[in-house]
Amino acid sequence: MRIIPAIDIIDGKCVRLTQGDFGQMKVYREDPVDVALEFQEADIEYLHLVDLDGAKKGHVVNWKIIEDIQQRTALAVDFGGGVQSDDDVEILLDLGVNQINIGSLAIKEPEKFIYWLNKHGSENFILSADVKNENVMINGWLESANYRVIDLVDRFIGHGLEYVTCTDIGSDGMLNGPNLGLYKKIKARFPNLKINASGGISSVDDLKELQYLNLHGAIIGKAIYEGRFNLADLKKYNAY
C-alpha cells in the first residue's frame, strides 16, 4: 500500500481544512514546495497535491507551485483541483504530473472524462470522489452531486477506470480514524479497483487496517502536520 502525504494549497500556502469546511482552515506552512522537499528527503515517493483555490473557483490557480514541485522534486505527484480543460490535462502531463484527479468534472461532463481516459490512458487519471454519507460532493465539497459513490464508479468502470481516491468528508481532518466501512463496500463491489483512502488516518493501526482491506494507497494530511506521524515512521511503514 502506498503511503501518500498530502499538500493542500490555498493562497499559495500549505493548509488543512476540517471536514472540507473552508471556514475551518489552518495554515501549516508558508511554502508548499519546502514541504514537498522535506517529504522527498525522507524518502517518501508519492505526493497528493490539491489546489483548493482551483477546486473552489473551477480552474487551476496555483500553477507556479505545481511547476516548482515538478522541477525540484522527483515525487510521483497526483494532482487535483479545478482541472477542466484539454489544455489543463496536456500541461499537467507535459509537466510530468504522474496522475490527474478528476472530481466535479466527472459529474458534470462525464463524456469529457471518458474521452480523456481513452486519449491519454486510464493510468494517468484518478476519479476523485469526496463523499459525505456515501453521497458525492462537488465544487470543493460545497454541493451535493446527487450521486452515490458506488454509482459514480460504476459510471466509468466500463470505460477503463482503474483508480479512485475516496475522501470521507466526515472523517477528514478529525484524526479519529478512516471510514473503513465505506472502503469495504467499494472494494467488495469493485475488487480490482485501485482505491486510495483519504480522511481521518491518524495512526499506524489505521494504516494496517487499510492495508488489510488491500487498498492501493493511504493519503495522510493533518496527522503529519499535527505530529501524529513523523516522516521516519512513514518511511519504515512503506518498507514493510
Question: Which residues are catalytic, by number?
Answer: 8, 130
List all residues 6 or more positions away from 75 whose beta carbon is below 8 Å from its beta carbon: 36, 39, 40, 44, 45, 46, 47, 69
| Cβ-contact 98, 136 below 8 angstroms | no
C-alpha to C-alpha distance for 65 and 59, rounded to whole angstroms: 15
Say which residue the cell 483541483 belongs to.
81
